[in-house]
Amino acid sequence: MSRTLLYLVDSQGCHLSWMQRDAVEAAYRWAVREFPRLDLATLASWAEQVGAGLAERGETIQWPRRYAFAALHGKIREHFRSGSAREIAVGISHDLEKWAGLDMKTARQIERAVLFEQLSTKLSERDRHILVLLLQDMTSPANVAAALGVSYSAAAKAIQRVKDRISTMLEDEPSERESKGSSLRSSEN
């Protein structure tokens, strides 16, 4: 990041004292570090306003550095309280995801969690139990047989049936199921 030069002058156009200049520049560097998403030009403008206020109060301020930090932090808090802090100028959804800091791994985890929640509501209790075991990487029929208290071959067949049911649920579109259901109802009448 290149160094931003602040135009630190009082109301008459005279430069601030070194102590005042140092205080405002330190507060500005702190604000840039603590609030990286704020516009640097806006932060610089606020820092210059703080510098003008510091020069205006002159020698009445005992601790210029403390004043500069508090005043700049107050301007930033006021910005966040106002509606202007909520405006985000981004393009398409990819830009928005990049700005918000989302990655595809998080999105896949959320989608996977929602998918398995939906699947578990459509399965029987025994099938849900097998699904939970499969999600916990207990994929061998021996592990499932021990958990369910059934034979190895029955567990292998149960795993295969659960996988088939899940596959069927994932392949069927809601519109196809509805059309199949309506065609079955009309053929029954």
Q: Which of 43, 44, 37, 29 is nearest to 76 (CA)?
A: 43
**Token pair listed for 83:** 């509606």
**Cβ atoms within 10 Å, residue 100:** 9
Determine the Cα angle at 3 with ends 85 and 64, to 5°. 75
Distance from CA of residue 114 to its chain's centroid?
Answer: 17
pLDDT digits (tens, 9 = 90+) for 61-109: 888 889 888 999 998 888 888 766 555 555 566 666 666 666 667 778 7
Taking the model in full, what pTM does it have?
0.42
Percentage, residues of the chain above pLDDT 90: 7
Residue 74 φ/ψ, nearest 5 degrees: -65, -40
Which one is predicted more confidently, 112 or 175?
112
